[in-house]
Amino acid sequence: MVNTSTPLKAESKDLNFYYANGHQALKSVSMPLYENKITALIGPSGCGKSTFLRCFNRMHDLYPGNKYEGQIVMHPDNTNVLAAGVDPIEVRMRISMVFQKPNPFPKTIFENVAYGLRVRDEKNKRVVADKVEEALKGAALWNEVKDRLNDLAFNLSGGQQQRLCIARALATDPEIMLFDEPTSALDPIATANIEELMSELKNKLTILVVTHNMQQAARVSDFTAYMYLGEMIEYGDTDVIFTRPTRKETEDYITGKFG
Partner 1 sequence: MALPISQTKASVLENLDAVRAMIRRHKRNDIVFATIGLLALMLGLLTLLTLFVNLVMDGYPRFNLQFLSDFPSRRAGSAGLLSAWVGSALIMIVTFLTAVPVGVAAGLYLEEYAPKNWFSDLIEINVSNLAGVPSIIYGLLALGLFVYGLDLGQSILTAGLTLGLLILPIVIVSTREAIRSIPVAIREAAYAVGATKWQVVSDHVVKYSQGGILTGVIIGMSRAIGETAPIITIGALTFIAFLPPSPISDVAPYLNFEWLSSSFTVLPIQMFNWLSRPDHAFHINAAATGAIIIVVTLLMNGTAIYLRYKIRKNIKW
What is the C-alpha to C-alpha distance for residues 237 and 223, in angstroms, rounded to an integer?
4
Q: Which stretch binds partner 1 (CB under 8 A): 45-53, 77-85, 112-120, 188-196?
A: 112-120
Residue 62 interacting with partner 1 (CB under 8 A): yes
DSSP, collapsed to helix, strand or coil, labels residue 257 as coil
Could you say whether residue 127 binds partner 1 (CB under 8 A)? no
CB-CB neighbours of 31 under 10 Å: 19
Name the segment binding partner 1 (CB under 8 A); options: 41-49, 129-137, 162-170, 196-204. 162-170
**Peptide bond before 76: cis, by omega within 30 degrees of 0?**
yes
Helix ranges restricted to H, the chain: 49-56, 88-94, 109-119, 125-138, 142-145, 158-170, 188-201, 214-220, 238-243, 248-254
Stretch that binds partner 1, among 66-74, 113-121, 204-212, 236-244 (CB under 8 A): 113-121
Angstrom distances, CA of residue 136 to CA of 2, 38, 178, 182: 33, 21, 18, 17
By CB under 8 A, name the one of 7, 69, 83, 119 that touches partner 1.
119
Interface mask toward partner 1 for 64-103; x: CB under 8 A = x------------------------xx-xx--xx-x-x-x
Residues making contact with partner 1 (CB under 8 A) = 57, 59, 62, 64, 89-90, 92-93, 96-97, 99, 101, 103-106, 115-116, 118-120, 152, 154, 165, 168-169, 172
